[in-house]
Structure 1
Amino acid sequence: MPLAKLGYVVLDCPDPLALATFYAAVIGGTPKRDDDDWAHLEGQDGTPLAFQAAPGHVPPQWPAATHSQQFHLDLDVPQAEMDAVEKEVLALGATVLDAEDRERSFRVYADPAGHPFCLCAC
């Protein structure tokens, strides 16, 4: 029997509500501000995400062994919709980290706070 159940995956960031709003537009759900230092998504499918204020937040660098990314999110997208979803996440404020190889099954981006995430063909 497991000892615990995963509650939230929490991302440190400079502006919790802004990052919650970004991810709500990408994966669904409704951004909710709990207080100035915390926001979360309600009603999305999958593992719940929360966002915590981190003054002085320094985003990871990808790829860079000296500035480890710690973790990243894999977001599944139908193969036929990859280009359209890419355009939308970029319009929402994501930046491209590694998406040149269009034959590969994934593309790597950073969210507005600098956390890496992948769009993965499913």
Structure 2
Amino acid sequence: MALFKAGVVVLDCAEPEKLAEFYRELLEGERTAESANLVEIRGADGIRLAFRRDVNATPPSWPRPENSLQAHLDFLVEDLDEAERRVVGLGGRPIETRDAAGPYEERGYSDPAGHSFTLRLQPSTAPKQG
């Protein structure tokens, strides 16, 4: 039996209720716990995220160098354009970055509180038709 099990990723923010709602809708999930200073959600695929109140939270400035990245989330998607429309429709913002290095097609965004995340194209595993 593993000594440690995957827990939950916690993002600090000034308004955890609002940020939790952004990610709950984005991930088609549900709220699983809530207190005065913490809201936890579980996405449709099982990912667990929590949002902790920190009235002094400041968003990272990435990709600008004056502040560190702090934390970064990656989400796999099958259609980048459709996923981008959903992110922007929920209040997320594209992050202007140079061409990403690596073998994946991806796009960067920030959530309404300024945390950065990436949508990465998940190659189809379905057999080709025809």
TM-score, scaled relative to structure 2: 0.80
Distance 2:114 2:42 in 1: 22
1:96 matches 2:94: yes
- Superposed, 1:29-40 pairs within 5 Å as 29-32=29-32, 34-40=34-40
Structure 1: which 5+ residue stretches go unaligned? none
- Superposed, 1:60-75 pairs within 5 Å as 60-75=60-75
**Structure with greater proportional helix content:** 1
Cα deviation for residue 32 of structure 1 reads 4.7
Identity %: 39
Structure 1: 4+ residue segments shifted above 4 A: none
Greater C-alpha Rg:
2
CA change 1:30–1:117 in 2 (3 A) is same
* Residue identity in the other structure for 1:120: R
* Residue identity in the other structure for 2:93: T
Aligned CA RMSD, in angstroms, stands at 2.2
- SS at 1:67's partner residue? coil
Structure 2: which 5+ residue stretches go unaligned? 123-130
1:7 matches 2:11: no
TM-score, scaled relative to structure 1: 0.85
